[in-house]
Amino acid sequence: MSTIPLILAALGAAAAVAGCVVWRNERRRLRAVLGKRQEARERGALEARLEHPWVDRSRCIGCGSCVRACPEGGVLAVVHGQATIVQGSRCVGHGRCAEECPVGAISLTLGDRSQRHDLPALDSELAAVGRPGLYLAGEVTGYALIRTAVDHGRRAVAAVARQLEVRDPRGPADAHDLVIIGAGPAGLAASLEARRRGLDFVTLERDALGGTVARYPRRKLLMTRALELPIGGELEARGYRKEELMELWERLAREHELPIREYVQVESVRAQEDGVNLLETSAGPVRARHVLLAIGRRGIPRTLGVPGEELLKVSYSLIDAQGYQDRRILVVGGGDSAIEAALGLAAQPGNEVHLSYRRAGFFRLRARNELRILEAMRTGSVRVLFETELTEIREDAVRLIGADGEPRELSNDEVFLLLGGEPPFGMLAAAGVSFDPEDHPELAAPAERGAGLLVALGIAGAAALGLLGAWWGWQEYYGADLLTRRERTEHLWLHSAHGGGLAAGLAAAAMMLANLAYLLRRHARFPLRLGSLRAWMNVHVATGLLALVFASFHSAFVPRDTPGGRAFWGLVFLVVTGAIGRYLYSFVPRAANGRELAFEEARLRLQESMRAWSEVHADFGEQARAEIAQLLDRARWHGGILGSVWGLFRSQRALRQSLRRLRTRGVVAGLHVEELDEVLEVARRAHRDALAAAHYGDLRSLLAGWRYFHRWVGLLVVGLVLIHVWAGWRYADLGGRG
């Protein structure tokens, strides 16, 4: 009896078991991700304050490259086979997700600014709208990255230089071409660019060179990425510690003799009648034709105004945690600065560190800081007091009050109030900067990025047409049977073991090697980083198609029952599954994510509608909310394929029964029938969207099989090609008629 049917049955059973395991694990992962997304929405951390990724769902193929590329972690996740924002507040605009997307499905865009009164109105050249001669750069514009600040400084000075060329390049003798306020990343880059362009300028800094960076804690790691400074050249390292970056900036300022005046406070900037800006400073008045404000957003540290805040034990920043040992310390705040300070102080010997935060949980923390503080809470090295407020500071103690109104007293030696700073908006407004949302220029829509396949498909199409022409020219040969072909003179050059046929086989093998290089580029730990992943995807597509074209010619268009013939049909299968993944796979997940978003919107409307019930009819409102939440949860999640199918049939019956019970109890509780029916209709729509999202997700899970087939059949094809090459080298008559 043949063992092949038994082997096939065993493989089929193993594949079915593996499929069920994958299905269940994917459901578990998806449920966790959507739970985090809902939690982020409730905490207000779903949307980013400024730059955030925008996903084109008609292109996303769910490869997850953007998720792996994000250095913050938790911003993006793959939901229903496509990238989705989970915790947008963690995004700081690195842009690596867009760079690593192989199909150009992600762009960086800005959030809704229509209700924002903390963003200056700037034009495309960073000039203040309606205020000639005044420019802003760096963190004061709302962008926090060092790389962005450097780019801002360069762009603003370039705009000033263009203005000087248009207007009288000389100007008043007592006025500088440019005054730069601030010597942080943006101000330093602007100073270098101004020196490179030969402008008459001066840079004023209220503290020391480095601005906000100089006030960072000792040895803080700054992720700068690869950036290029004017004159200074390219900084290729991806990370610098504070001391390394400060040393670099001081060297550049010294080598290029930058006119930076430290410890000069600018009190006001106003335009004069002759078009020149007058700056009132602590060192006297300064006149400038153009002014660049690179002053950051932190301004003056926020204070609490509580008794004892004037004591010497109170600090508003932490530079060196090693200077504090064997101390009882209270850190007040819940942002990244407060968390980093608490962790740094807790690492010193003998310290007892408490962290007071007025919220019930951390909000808008970077992923690595959140993980570290949670671990510190678990080990007890930092004791976090949520929902507490500092009310009094004494020489040897502090007093706090909790959400329950109960006071609490802690023995204390040091207090760090890390509450951020008061932005310098008053000074900016007095200088003529507008914060009116209506003054913001219209933002361009996310740039339309082509799929990037035109060149790849063009090359493959040209090769296919060329080989089709060759087939047409030798159609008498290719149209004949194998025995007749051996008698024709063309056989010496067209058969697989010699001439053009052998060259086509070698070309197909070369295309396959180039195709596999894409996997190395995608590998997270492999150092191959030449070019963008998008370009490598195009090469992957082009070489895959070219490999099939050349393999067709190599097989003389008659693949036989040999390892080489099986490799050819495997290659055909790879191209088909690749096309499914590259072109077709995105459409069903697009519908699934659309249903997921519709479900979220319906659930939010439902919660809003039921809030009134909780206020007026507390018992009924809480019971109804819990029952509907449980109903929606059952509609979305099932244990496996059979549970999903069975859930589809029973969910509608459960819905009708639950809504009927709720309506009866609502009438008894005294709710208006019209109001009750309206809310229950919202619940019905939310249930429908939950079902749709779940079962679109099931369909997506089935289509996701293209990835596994593509991967493992690809490995099988590579093995068959190696056997084919070995067999050809060992047995084929490479120099004769085959």
Q: Using the predicted structure, report yes or no on whether residue 331 has a pLDDT greater than 80.
A: yes
Provide the 10 A C-beta neighbour count for residue 465.
11
d(CA 310, CA 415): 11
Supply the CATH number for residue 372's domain: 3.50.50.60
Burial of 257 (0-12, 13-18, 19+ CB in 10 A): exposed
Q: Are residues 660 and 724 in the same domain?
A: no
Do residues 81 and 28 touch, judged by C-beta distance below 8 A?
Answer: no
Is position 441 within any domain? no
Q: Are residues 248 and 156 in the same domain?
A: yes
pLDDT at 261: 93
204: enclosing H helix or E strand: strand 201-205
pLDDT at 609: 66
700: enclosing H helix or E strand: helix 673-703
pLDDT at 287: 93
What does DSSP assign to residue 182?
-
Amino acid letter, residue 670: G
Q: Is 352 helix (H, G, I), strand (E, B) or coil?
A: strand
Is position 117 within any domain? no
Q: Can you tell me the mean pLDDT for 497-503?
A: 79
Helices (H) and strands (E) in the chain, counts: 21, 26
Q: Can you tell me the mean pLDDT for 520-540?
A: 72
For CA atoms 495, 496, 498, 502, give the dihedral sign.
Answer: positive
Closest CA to 683 of 593, 594, 603: 603
Higher pLDDT, 647 or 501: 501
Amino acid letter, residue 334: G
Q: Which residues contact 109 (CB under 8 A, 6 or more apart)?
A: 51, 52, 54, 443, 445, 446
pLDDT at 680: 75
Domain boundary among 244, 266, 297: 297
Q: Are residues 394 and 269 in the same domain?
A: no
pLDDT at 160: 93
Q: Using the predicted structure, report yes or no on whether residue 702 has a pLDDT greater than 50.
A: yes
pLDDT digits (tens, 9 = 90+) for 451-496: 455 666 676 677 777 777 777 777 777 777 777 777 787 777 777 7
Q: Are residues 283 and 208 in the same domain?
A: yes
Q: Can you tell me the mean pLDDT for 273-293?
A: 91
Give the angle subtended at the CA of 237 by the CAs of 234 and 242, to the nearest 5°: 105
Higher pLDDT, 657 or 205: 205
Q: Are residues 498 and 622 in the same domain?
A: no
Q: Can you tell me the mean pLDDT for 692-714?
A: 69
Q: Are residues 286 and 311 in the same domain?
A: no
Q: Using the predicted structure, report yes or no on whether residue 129 has a pLDDT greater than 80.
A: yes
What does DSSP assign to residue 415?
E
Q: Are residues 463 and 581 in the same domain?
A: yes
pLDDT at 670: 73
pLDDT at 1: 45
Q: Are residues 161 and 173 in the same domain?
A: yes
What does DSSP assign to residue 76?
E
Q: Highest mean pLDDT: which of 142-146, 159-163, 244-248, 671-675?
A: 159-163
Average pLDDT score, the chain: 79
Q: Can you tell me the mean pLDDT for 689-697?
A: 68
pLDDT at 307: 94
Do residues 261 and 283 touch, judged by C-beta distance below 8 A?
Answer: yes
Q: Using the predicted structure, report yes or no on whether residue 703 has a pLDDT greater than 80.
A: no
pLDDT digits (tens, 9 = 90+) for 717-733: 888 888 888 887 877 76
d(CA 422, CA 217): 20
Burial of 533 (0-12, 13-18, 19+ CB in 10 A): buried
Is position 389 within any domain? yes
Q: Using the predicted structure, report yes or no on whether residue 122 has a pLDDT greater than 70.
A: yes
Domain boundary among 276, 297, 318: 297
Q: Where are the alpha helices (DSSP H) in 258-366?
A: 336-346
pLDDT digits (tens, 9 = 90+) for 11-43: 677 767 776 777 777 778 877 888 888 777 777
Q: Are residues 165 and 292 in the same domain?
A: yes
Label each residue of 78-121 as H, E or C: EECCEEEECCHHHCCCCCHHHHHCCCCCEEEEECCCCCCCCCCC
pLDDT at 584: 65
Q: Which residues contact 713 (CB under 8 A, 6 or more apart)?
A: 570, 573, 574, 577
Q: Can you tell me the mean pLDDT for 612-634?
A: 66
Is position 434 within any domain? no
Give the angle subtended at the CA of 659 by the CAs of 655 and 660, to the nearest 5°: 115
Higher pLDDT, 120 or 452: 120
Amino acid letter, residue 389: E
Q: Using the predicted structure, report yes or no on whether residue 336 has a pLDDT greater than 80.
A: yes
Is position 188 within any domain? yes
pLDDT at 327: 94
Q: Can you tell me the mean pLDDT for 184-195?
A: 91
Q: How many domains does the chain have?
A: 5
Residue bearing tokens 């094809």: 717
Is position 438 within any domain? no
Domain boundary among 244, 278, 297: 297
**φ, ψ of residue 21 in degrees (nearest 5):** -65, -45
Q: Using the predicted structure, report yes or no on whether residue 257 has a pLDDT greater than 70.
A: yes
Q: Are residues 140 and 268 in the same domain?
A: yes
Is position 447 within any domain? no
What does DSSP assign to residue 74?
S
Q: Are residues 24 and 47 in the same domain?
A: yes
Higher pLDDT, 485 or 506: 506
Q: Quick one: pLDDT band at residue 738, thresholds 50, 70, 90?
A: very low
Q: Quick one: pLDDT band at residue 142, thresholds 50, 70, 90?
A: confident
Is position 527 within any domain? yes
Domain residues for 374?
Answer: 302-422
Q: Are residues 48 and 175 in the same domain?
A: no
Burial of 617 (0-12, 13-18, 19+ CB in 10 A): middle
Q: What is the dihedral of CA 11, 13, 19, 25, to 10 degrees?
A: -120
Q: Quick one: pLDDT band at residue 737, thresholds 50, 70, 90?
A: very low
